[in-house]
Amino acid sequence: MRNRHSRRQSGGIAEINMTPLIDMVFILLIFFIVTTTFVKETGVEVNRPSAKTAVEKERANILVAIRENDEIWIDNRQVDRRAVRANVERLHAENPEGSVIILADENAKTGLLIEVMDQARLAGVANVSIAAERD
């Protein structure tokens, strides 16, 4: 009689608890969102000069583009040369470990390039680089 009673209890409908599975899905979703890196672009296409000694830089948080017609672009917006320092300061405050890469067109004026580099350094960024194409 004891065997009959235990058979009835084990013959019930088995349920799968979905709560731990849903918790794991949310944890994985949060993990992938937090670890994702986003590609930043300047918003314009620039013809960079080529260099044999060009080295690829892994992370650059602030990209500044200088077009051949002396337009300066930061964060998909055209900015005035007097506003470069303020924009770089704002972006540098978001990530103090970041660096600045200047994407200057090969036909851009050197004086403007030097001025933008100077403004980036005055904004408190120690690591300022100029982008070039690798030969």
Report residue 20 CA to chain centroid gap: 33
**CB-based burial label for 103 (10 Å; 0-12, 13-18, 19+):** buried
In order along its 135 residues, the chain shows pLDDT tens digits of 455 555 455 556 778 888 888 999 999 999 888 887 666 666 666 666 666 566 666 666 788 999 989 899 998 889 998 999 999 999 888 888 888 888 888 888 889 999 999 999 999 988 888 887 776
Domain ranges of the chain: 62-133
Alpha-carbon span 135 to 133, nearest angstrom: 6
What pTM, to 2 d.p., does this model score? 0.61
Pick the closest to residue 125 from 86, 77, 79, 92 (CA basis): 92
Alpha-carbon span 101 to 90, nearest angstrom: 15
Pick the closest to residue 117 from 69, 62, 75 (CA basis): 62
Domain 62-133 falls under CATH 3.20.20.120: no
